[in-house]
């Protein structure tokens, strides 16, 4: 259905990418498992070829319509003029974005706080293809950032807030300076999703999410999204096809289901997350809470300026714990369980290892834990954390 462009994000999340008339009026779509699609005549085939020439997408011929419908919903959430594609993972969304625009001799800028596997991809996969990269300080001033650009810098990736330490970047400034230098600007927006930070409205060209996280929200699938203007997305979708990256029909269906409750889930993650972050700040064992909504967080003013909310993922730095103390702390937790790939309904905790790949921003001094605050009752989550602190050996 065509939505009035003035409707708000909750309404978009509820209605975008739905086509009940195409499948018997059912509110919930069927799982569209498809490889071959059948045409009625030659003219229809010719029209499909003409359309694929414009969009770079082949789904008129092959594959799940469900993936297209999710992409339509993502495009609506990303804002006016956006075109989106669904990819088979967050990592593939990043790889496709890099390979669509970078080639031998090009230079890429990554924030020092970039997701570790993205930095590894730049070093290994992109490095083998003759694409070089540098890390820039995520909190660089305009002059400092400008000095990082080289004549061959073709793309700047942002990730805001940054992985593990949650610094918020000045994305509009970075986009303006990068564009003056002729570089494209991409963002890994997995933390905020387009609901809480609208990349394209802040000057970003290519907006990427690990849909595995909040967009899906149920810890049961791995997918990614890329969105941008039509001219760029044709190149993105052509590259995606040439790389053979295809999201599965069942995962696309699950993602469509998850998206309908995204705004509601994020509000709860935010409310509970802030309550727990504030409670942690008051504990004597806690040195620092790394949460963009807290006034002393790095880049908090930028968060307040550019974001419409926070999510449930943040860091907490404890006085250094020896391994037995860390084991006692983690072992006492019942609701916060050890696990990667946050963004689902459940709470998670993870000790963050020292990131030796960073060049500008050292990891905080102390024991850094990453918390994902899920949809449990926050009173129960606070009691769980209290029990973990009580299990620490007394000094």
Ligand X SMILES: *Cc1c(COP(=O)(O)O)cnc(C)c1O
Mind giving me the DSSP string for 56-74? ---TTTBS-HHHHHHHHHH
Give me the residue label for tokens 């073709």.
Answer: 154
Q: Judged by CB, which is closer to ligand X: 67, or 149? A: 67
Q: Residue number with the shortest CB distance to ligand X?
A: 90
Distance between first and last Cα of the chain:
63
Q: Judged by CB, which is closer to ligand X: 213, or 291? A: 213
Residue 310 tokens, joined: 């926070």
Q: Judged by CB, which is closer to ligand X: 149, or 248? A: 248
CA-based nearest residue to 186, from 240, 128, 146, 225 = 225
Can you tell me whether residue 354 is helix, strand or coil? coil
Can you tell me whether residue 116 is helix, strand or coil? helix
Strand partners, 225: 86, 209
Q: Judged by CB, which is closer to ligand X: 299, or 384? A: 299
The least distance separating ligand X from the CB of residue 341, rounded to whole angstroms, comes to 6
**What ranges in the chain are assigned the alpha helix state H?**
9-15, 42-55, 65-78, 90-101, 116-121, 127-128, 142-146, 171-180, 193-196, 230-243, 249-259, 262-281, 300-306, 323-332, 378-390
The least distance separating ligand X from the CB of residue 43, rounded to whole angstroms, comes to 40
Can you tell me whether residue 41 is helix, strand or coil? coil
Q: Judged by CB, which is closer to ligand X: 89, or 234? A: 89
Distances (CA, A) of 268 to 20, 96, 345, 350: 29, 32, 10, 21
The least distance separating ligand X from the CB of residue 342, rounded to whole angstroms, comes to 7
The least distance separating ligand X from the CB of residue 119, rounded to whole angstroms, comes to 11
Q: Judged by CB, which is closer to ligand X: 17, or 90? A: 90
The DSSP letter of residue 363 is P
The least distance separating ligand X from the CB of residue 158, rounded to whole angstroms, comes to 11
Q: Judged by CB, which is closer to ligand X: 64, or 190? A: 190
The least distance separating ligand X from the CB of residue 363, rounded to whole angstroms, comes to 17
Contact 333, 380 (CB under 8 A): no
Q: Judged by CB, which is closer to ligand X: 59, or 163? A: 163
The least distance separating ligand X from the CB of residue 47, rounded to whole angstroms, comes to 34
Residue 105 has a CB neighbour count (10 Å cut-off) of 11
Can you tell me whether residue 378 is helix, strand or coil? helix
The least distance separating ligand X from the CB of residue 89, rounded to whole angstroms, comes to 4
Q: Which positions lie near ligand X, rule CB under 6 A?
A: 89-91, 115, 163, 188, 190, 210, 212-213, 222, 224, 341
Distances (CA, A) of 82 to 21, 74, 102, 211, 260: 24, 9, 22, 17, 19
Q: Judged by CB, which is closer to ligand X: 64, or 89? A: 89
CA-based nearest residue to 233, from 114, 75, 109, 7 = 75
Contact 207, 226 (CB under 8 A): yes
Question: Which H, E and C letters describe 181-198, residue by residue?
Answer: CCCEEEEECCCCHHHHCC
The least distance separating ligand X from the CB of residue 303, rounded to whole angstroms, comes to 16
The least distance separating ligand X from the CB of residue 115, rounded to whole angstroms, comes to 4
Q: Judged by CB, which is closer to ligand X: 286, or 313? A: 313
């Amino acid at each position: 259905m065509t939505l009035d462009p003035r409707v708000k994000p909750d309404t978009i999340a509820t209605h975008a990418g739905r086509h009940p008339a195409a499948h018997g009026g059912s509110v919930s779509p069927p799982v569209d498992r498809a490889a071959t699609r059948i045409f009625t005549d030659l003219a229809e085939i010719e029209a499909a070829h003409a359309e694929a020439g414009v969009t770079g997408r082949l789904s008129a011929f092959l594959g799940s319509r469900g993936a297209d419908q999710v992409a339509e919903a993502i495009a609506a959430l990303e804002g006016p003029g956006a075109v989106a594609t669904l990819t088979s993972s967050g990592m593939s969304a990043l790889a496709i974005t890099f390979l669509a625009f970078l080639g031998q001799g090009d230079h890429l800028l990554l924030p020092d706080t970039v997701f570790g596997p993205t930095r590894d991809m730049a070093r290994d996969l992109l490095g083998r293809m003759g694409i070089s990269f540098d890390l820039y300080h995520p909190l660089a001033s305009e002059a400092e950032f400008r000095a990082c650009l080289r004549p061959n810098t073709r793309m700047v990736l942002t990730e805001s807030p940054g992985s593990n330490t949650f610094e918020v970047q000045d994305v509009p400034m970075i986009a303006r300076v990068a564009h003056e230098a002729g570089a494209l600007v991409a963002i890994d927006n997995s933390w905020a999703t387009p609901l809480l930070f609208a990349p394209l409205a802040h000057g970003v060209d290519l907006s990427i999410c690990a849909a595995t996280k909040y967009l899906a929200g149920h810890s049961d699938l791995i997918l990614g999204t890329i969105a941008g203007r039509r001219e760029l997305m044709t190149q993105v979708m052509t590259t995606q096809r040439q790389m053979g990256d295809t999201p599965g029909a069942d995962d696309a269906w699950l993602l469509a289901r998850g998206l309908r409750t995204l705004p509601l889930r994020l509000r709860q993650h935010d409310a509970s997350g802030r309550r727990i972050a504030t409670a942690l700040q008051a504990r004597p064992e806690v040195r620092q809470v790394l949460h963009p909504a807290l006034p002393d967080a790095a880049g908090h003013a930028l968060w307040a300026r550019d974001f419409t909310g926070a999510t449930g993922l943040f860091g907490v730095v404890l006085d250094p714990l020896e391994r037995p103390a860390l084991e006692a702390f983690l072992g006492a937790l019942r609701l916060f369980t050890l696990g990667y790939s946050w963004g689902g309904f459940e709470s998670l905790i993870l000790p963050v290892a020292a990131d030796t790949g960073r060049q500008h921003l050292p990891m905080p001094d102390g024991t850094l834990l990453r918390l994902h605050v899920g949809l449990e009752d926050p009173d129960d989550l606070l009691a769980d954390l209290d029990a973990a602190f009580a299990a620490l050996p007394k000094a």
